[in-house]
Structure 1
Amino acid sequence: MATYAATVWVQNMFQYLASLPRGVKRAILLMIDCALVPISMYWAFSLRFGVQVETQQLQDSIPLFVLVLLASLPIFSLTKLNRIKLIAFEVQDIGRGVVAAMCLTVVAIVVSYLLRLDGPRSMPLIFGTVFLTLHILVRILARSLLMYISGRDSERVPVAIYGAGSAGVQLMAALRQDFEMRPVLFVDDNVTLQSMTIAGLPVYSAEKLAVMVRNKRVQRVLLAMPSATEGVRRQKIKELSKLDCEVYALPSYSELIGESGIVDKLQPVDADMLLARDKVDLDTPEIARTYAGRSILVTGAGGSIGSELCNQIIRCNPHRLVLFEHSEFALYSIERELAATAKQLGVELIARLGSVCDRMTVDEVLAESNVDIVLHAAAYKHVPLIETNEVVGTFNNVVGTQTVAEAAAAAEVERFILVSTDKAVRPTNVMGATKRLAELVVQDLQTRTPESKFAMVRFGNVLGSSGSVIPLFQKQIAEGGPITLTHDNISRYFMTIPEAARLVLLAGAYATGGDVFVLDMGKAVSIKELAKRMIELSGLTIKDDNNPNGQIEIEIVGLRPGEKMHEELLIGDNALPTPHEKILRAEEASVSQLEMARILKDLQKASETASANAIRGILEQYVEGFEAKPATTGSAPH
Structure 2
Amino acid sequence: MSVIEFLRWIIVATPRFWKRALLISFDFCALMFALWASYALRYAEWTPQITDERLLLGLLAPVIAVPVFIRMGLYRAVLRYLPDTAIWTILHSMVISTIIWVIFVFLTAMAGRDIVPRSVPFFYFAIGVLLVGGSRFAAKFILSSGTGIRRDEHPMLIYGAGPSSVQLATVLRGHGKRYVVGLVDDDPQHHGRDVGGYRVFPPNQLPRLIEKYGIQEIILSMSSIPANRRQAVISLVSGLGVKIRTLPDITDLVDGRYLVNQIREIEIDELLGRSFVPPDQTLLRSVLHDRVVMVTGAGGSIGSELCRLIVQWKPKCLVLFEANEFALYKIDRELRSGGHCDVVPVLASVRDAAQVRAAISGNGVEVVYHAAAHKHVPLVEANVLEGISNNVFGTLTVADVALSSGVEKFVLISSDKAVRPTNVMGATKRWAELIIRAKAAEATKDGNQQFCAVRFGNVLGSNGSVVPLFREQIANGGPVTVTDPDMTRYFMSIQEASELIVQASAMSMGGDTFLLDMGEPVRIGDLAENMIRLAGFTVRNHQNLPGSIQIQVTGIRPGEKLFEELFYDVTNALKTEHPKIMRAQASHSAQDVTQALRELQTAVDQGDETLARSILFDFIRIP
Structure 2: tracts of 5 or more residues without a match: 1-152, 179-211, 220-243, 249-258
> Which of 354, 359, 368 is equivalent to 1:365?
359
> Which of 183, 200, 216 is equivalent to 1:231?
216
For the Cα contact (< 8 Å) 2:396–2:435, is it kept in 1?
A: yes
Residues 283 and 248 of structure 1: CA distance in aligned 2, closer, same or farther (over 3 Å):
farther
Distance across 2 between alignment mates of 1:598 and 1:378: 24
| Aligned residue in 1 for 2:319 | 322
| Aligned residue in 2 for 1:417 | 411
For residues 363-418 of structure 1, give each alpha carbon's deviation from its aligned partner in whole angstroms, at most 9, with x where no partner exists: 01111110000000000000000001000011100000000001000011110000
> Mean Cα displacement is larger for which, 436-445 or 513-522?
513-522
| Aligned residue in 2 for 1:508 | 505
Matches for 1:550-629 after TM superposition, within 5 Å:
550-572=547-569, 573-593=571-591, 595-624=592-621
| Aligned residue in 1 for 2:474 | 477
Distance across 1 between alignment mates of 2:321 and 2:271: 31
Distance across 2 between alignment mates of 1:517 and 1:578: 9
For residues 524-564 of structure 1, give each alpha carbon's deviation from its aligned partner in whole angstroms, at most 9, with x where no partner exists: 11111111111111111111111111111112211100001
For the Cα contact (< 8 Å) 2:155–2:213, is it kept in 1?
A: no
Residue aligned with 2:414, SS = strand
Which one-letter code corresponds to 1:412 in the other structure? G
For the Cα contact (< 8 Å) 1:606–1:614, is it kept in 2?
A: yes
Which one-letter code corresponds to 2:590 in the other structure? S
Which one-letter code corresponds to 2:216 in the other structure? G
| Aligned residue in 1 for 2:437 | 443
> Which of 481, 486, 496 is equivalent to 2:483?
486
Matches for 1:159-558 after TM superposition, within 5 Å:
188=176, 231-232=216-217, 249-250=246-247, 263=260, 269-341=266-338, 343=339, 345=340, 347-450=341-444, 451-558=448-555
Tell me how far 1:268 sits from its aligned partner.
5.6
For residues 507-537 of structure 1, give each alpha carbon's deviation from its aligned partner in whole angstroms, at most 9, with x where no partner exists: 2101101111111122111111111111111
Residue aligned with 1:498, SS = helix
Which one-letter code corresponds to 1:536 in the other structure? R
| Aligned residue in 2 for 1:151 | none
Distance across 1 between alignment mates of 2:468 and 2:349: 27
Matches for 1:125-144 after TM superposition, within 5 Å:
none
Tell me how far 1:278 sits from its aligned partner.
2.8
Which one-letter code corresponds to 2:359 in the other structure? V
Tell me how far 1:187 sits from its aligned partner.
6.4
Tell me how far 1:299 sits from its aligned partner.
0.3
Distance across 2 between alignment mates of 1:527 and 1:434: 24
Which one-letter code corresponds to 2:451 in the other structure? F
Residues 268 and 619 of structure 1: CA distance in aligned 2, closer, same or farther (over 3 Å):
same
Tell me how far 1:248 sits from its aligned partner.
7.0
For the Cα contact (< 8 Å) 1:231–1:540, is it kept in 2?
A: no
Which one-letter code corresponds to 1:614 in the other structure? L
Which one-letter code corresponds to 1:360 in the other structure? A
Distance across 1 between alignment mates of 2:302 and 2:213: 36
Q: Which has the larger radius of gyration?
A: 2
Residue aligned with 1:565, SS = coil
Matches for 1:135-154 after TM superposition, within 5 Å:
none
Distance across 1 between alignment mates of 2:426 and 2:472: 26
Distance across 1 between alignment mates of 2:270 and 2:429: 29
For residues 76-124 of structure 1, give each alpha carbon's deviation from its aligned partner in whole angstroms, at most 9, with x where no partner exists: xxxxxxxxxxxxxxxxxxxxxxxxxxxxxxxxxxxxxxxxxxxxxxxxx
Distance across 2 between alignment mates of 1:381 and 1:548: 37
For the Cα contact (< 8 Å) 2:439–2:590, is it kept in 1?
A: no
Distance across 2 between alignment mates of 1:228 and 1:591: 68
Distance across 2 between alignment mates of 1:384 and 1:164: 43
For residues 575-609 of structure 1, give each alpha carbon's deviation from its aligned partner in whole angstroms, at most 9, with x where no partner exists: 1011111211111312332x222222122212222
Which one-letter code corresponds to 1:510 in the other structure? M
Tell me how far 1:276 sits from its aligned partner.
3.7
| TM-score, normalised with respect to structure 2 | 0.59
Distance across 1 between alignment mates of 2:262 and 2:302: 29
Cα RMSD after superposing both structures: 3.4
| TM-score, normalised with respect to structure 1 | 0.58
Distance across 2 between alignment mates of 1:619 and 1:187: 59
Distance across 2 between alignment mates of 1:228 and 1:438: 57
| Aligned residue in 2 for 1:244 | none
Tell me how far 1:449 sits from its aligned partner.
1.1
Tell me how far 1:265 sits from its aligned partner.
9.5
For the Cα contact (< 8 Å) 1:443–1:514, is it kept in 2?
A: yes
> Mean Cα displacement is larger for which, 474-483 or 348-357?
474-483
Distance across 1 between alignment mates of 2:154 and 2:449: 56
| Aligned residue in 2 for 1:60 | none
For the Cα contact (< 8 Å) 1:230–1:539, is it kept in 2?
A: no
Distance across 1 between alignment mates of 2:309 and 2:213: 36
| Aligned residue in 2 for 1:199 | none
| Aligned residue in 2 for 1:72 | none
Distance across 2 between alignment mates of 1:351 and 1:305: 17
| Aligned residue in 2 for 1:136 | none
Residue aligned with 1:554, SS = strand
Tell me how far 1:274 sits from its aligned partner.
3.9
For residues 410-437 of structure 1, give each alpha carbon's deviation from its aligned partner in whole angstroms, at most 9, with x where no partner exists: 0111100000000000001000000000
Tell me how far 1:289 sits from its aligned partner.
2.1
Distance across 1 between alignment mates of 2:572 and 2:281: 25
Which one-letter code corresponds to 1:585 in the other structure? R
Residue aligned with 1:449, SS = helix
Distance across 2 between alignment mates of 1:404 and 1:413: 11
